[in-house]
Structure 1
Amino acid sequence: MTRLIVVRHGQTVWNLERKYQGHSDIALTDTGLNQARAVAERLAEEPVHAVYASDLSRAFKTAECIAAAHSLTVKLVPELREIKFGEWEGLTYEQITERWPGLLGKLWTTPDELEIPGGETFRQLKERSTAAIRQILAAHPGQTVAVVAHGGTIGTILCAILDIHLNHVWRIRQDNTAVNVIDFYEGRPTITLLNCVRHLKAEKAGNLPEVK
């Protein structure tokens, strides 16, 4: 069995401000760092053989905490970045709605049909992220690997694993430092844990902003 542990990054300032981040390199808040340390402590007893992450600092710093607990270094994979939001990056929901009336609604209802101005499509995100996951799995047969990425990225990976349409991507919630576990038996995936944040304080778990 090969085990894939997929973790979303910790909280950022733009999460709090409900701004779309995409490829913008936004740092973790103090709370985000504490979340990263908490998830690292939770995973410290897991037999992790390798740690991979998006090259954006919010994912990399989260991964560093996990890797340190296992005396490992983080391997950066740019293909694990969040979807490129293009002209929407740094803007709030209200600002995007004002400038592109009617377009943002497609992000939540039919993301597979959405063309983000200056950005990527969700199909492009799915293709690059799942290709990266396949390469990681091929490099670690029979091992446990941790991967730190982003909400949208993780959603598309899980859609691929579950073989469901990309228009359902936002039905798979991903809180900051959520832990997801996928076990592969002879290449066949089974999701054994989804969006688990039990390592966070009870009053905080599940109450963070949804903007990616």
Structure 2
Amino acid sequence: MTKLYLVRHGETMDNAAQIMQGQTPGRLNDVGIQQAEEVARKMANDHIDVFVSSDLYRSMQTCAIIARPHLEAGMHLKGTADASAFLTEDDILQRIETTPLIRERDWGDFTGKFIPSLPKDPKDWPDNVETLERMKSRAQNFLTWLKVAYPDKTILAVGHGIINKAIQSVYYKRPMNQIEKMANAEVRVLIL
């Protein structure tokens, strides 16, 4: 059985400012860093075999914060580091598997815009916004990849709000509008 801890990245500067980030890298703000650190504390004793992240920086940054205690504990257990050793963010990022499959939705011309000013009706959206069908295809490909690449492993994957919703939609075989929105740094568990 493959166990997936599905995590949404911590709050970013653009989240707080209500700016549509889309597939821009993004960076955690102080709240987002604290959120990721809280997940790291809560999950410090959970066994995790593999850390996976979207290839967008805000997710990689969240994943690195969560992975740090696991990776540093592993170094100490194997006797490869003394008690004062620690990993840099770059060291940790090299140990995280990244994938574009769980990037945020491509919001096309909406990227960088103030969210409250955008039209709510998809009929009024630009043609270059990624479709839900395309996102659900990426979600299915992601779940298939995990099952093939990491059978019987425990995986922590950090993605984004809407792609995480698409992953759950595919997993539960339910429409996306029936999947509850994930808060920043929220963790959900899926058994694949």
- Shorter-chain TM-score: which interval? 0.7 to 0.9
1:34 aligns to what?
A: 34
Match of 2:103 in 1: 81
Query: Which residue identity is paired with 1:44?
Result: A
CA contact (8 A) 2:18 2:116 kept: no
Question: 1:124-163, aligned counterparts within 5 Å?
Answer: 124-163=134-173
2:185 is the alignment partner of 1:177: yes
**Conservation of the 8 A alpha-carbon contact between 1:114 and 1:121:** no
SS of the residue corresponding to residue 79 of structure 1 reads: helix
Q: Whole-Å Cα distance in 1 between the matches of residues 126 and 187 of structure 2?
A: 28
Describe the shift of the 1:92–1:117 C-alpha distance in structure 2 as closer, same or farther (beyond 3 A): farther
Are positions 1:69 and 2:69 aligned together? yes
Post-superposition offset of 1:118: 2.0
Post-superposition offset of 1:34: 1.2
CA apart distance, 1:119? 2.4
State TM-score, norm by structure 2. 0.82
Per the alignment, residue 121 of structure 2 pairs with 105
Higher helix fraction (1 or 2): 2
Shift of 1:115: 6.0
* TM-score, normalising length: structure 1: 0.75
**Change in 2 beyond 3 A, CA 1:114/1:44:** farther
Q: Give distance in 1, aligned partners of 2:42 and 2:68.
A: 13
How large is the Cα RMSD of the aligned pairs? 1.8
Q: Once the 2 structures are TM-superposed, how far is the Cα of residue 85 of structure 1 from its aligned partner?
A: 0.2
**Contact kept in structure 2, 1:88 and 1:117, CA below 8 Å:** no
1-side partners of 2:16 and 2:135: how far apart?
24
Letter in 1 for 2:172: L
**Larger-gyration structure (1/2):** 2
Identity of aligned residues (%): 27
Aligned to 1:205: none
- Name the CA distance, whole Å, in 1 between partners of 2:56 and 2:167: 18
Relative contact order (C-alpha < 8 Å, sep 6+): which is higher?
2
Unpaired segments of 5 or more residues in structure 1?
98-103, 107-112, 185-212
Match of 2:114 among 85, 88, 92: 92
Q: Residues 37 and 131 (structure 1 numbering): CA distance in 2 closer, same or farther, change over 3 Å?
A: same
Q: Which has the higher strand share?
A: 1
The residue type equivalent to 1:38 in the other structure is E
Letter in 2 for 1:156: A
Amino acid at match of 2:169: C
Contact 1:18–1:92 (Cα < 8 Å) also in 2: yes
One-letter amino acid matched to 2:159: A
Task: Measure how far apart 1:114 and its partner are.
Answer: 8.3
* Structure 1 consecutive aligned stretches of length 4 or more whose deviation exceeds 3 Å: 113-117
Q: How many residues align?
A: 170
Give the AA of the match of 1:84.
D
Aligned to 1:195: none
